[in-house]
Amino acid sequence: MSTSVAYLGPAGTFTEAALTSFHARGAFGDAGEEITPIPVASPAAALDRVRAGEADYAVVAIENSVDGAVTGTFDALADGERVQIFSELELEIAFDIMVRPGTSLADATTFATHPVAHQQVRHWLKEHLPAAEYVPASSNAAAAQLVAEGKADVAAAPGRAAEIFGLETVATGIADTVGARTRFVVVGKPDVPPARTGNDTTLIVFTLPNTPGSLVHALQDFAQRGVSMSWIASRPNPGHYGTYRFYVDLDGHIDDIPLAEALRAVWLRVDDITFLGSWPATHPSEREAELAADIQRLHEATAWVQAARTGKDTD
SS3 3: strand
Q: What is the pLDDT of residue 239?
A: 76
Domain with CATH 3.40.190.10 in the chain: 1-92+180-190, 95-174
Give yes or no for residue 224 having a pLDDT over 90: yes
Q: What is the share, in percent, of the chain residues with pLDDT greater than 70?
A: 96
**CATH class for domain 1-92+180-190?**
alpha beta
Domain with CATH 3.30.70.260 in the chain: 192-315
Q: What is the pLDDT of residue 289?
A: 61
User: Are the beta carbons of 58 and 19 closer than 8 angstroms?
Assistant: no
> Smallest Cα–Cα separation from 231: which of 99, 94, 65?
65
DSSP letter at 132? Answer: P
Interval 118-144: pLDDT, tens: 989 999 999 999 999 999 999 999 999
Task: Please list, in sequence order, all residues whose beta carbon lies within 8 angstroms of the beta carbon of residue 138, skipping any fewer than 6 positions away.
Answer: 8, 41, 42, 114
Identify the CATH number of the domain defined by range 95-174: 3.40.190.10
Q: What is the pLDDT of residue 260?
A: 96
Q: What is the pLDDT of residue 130?
A: 95
Interval 157-185: pLDDT, tens: 999 999 999 999 999 999 998 888 999 99
Task: Say which CATH architecture domain 192-315 belongs to.
Answer: 2-Layer Sandwich (3.30)
- Burial label, 254 (beta-carbon count in 10 A; 0-12, 13-18, 19+): middle
Q: What is the pLDDT of residue 47?
A: 98
Across the chain, mean pLDDT equals 92
Q: 81: alpha, beta or left, given left = phi > 0 and alpha = psi -120 to 50?
A: beta
DSSP letter at 106? Answer: G
Q: What is the pLDDT of residue 243?
A: 84
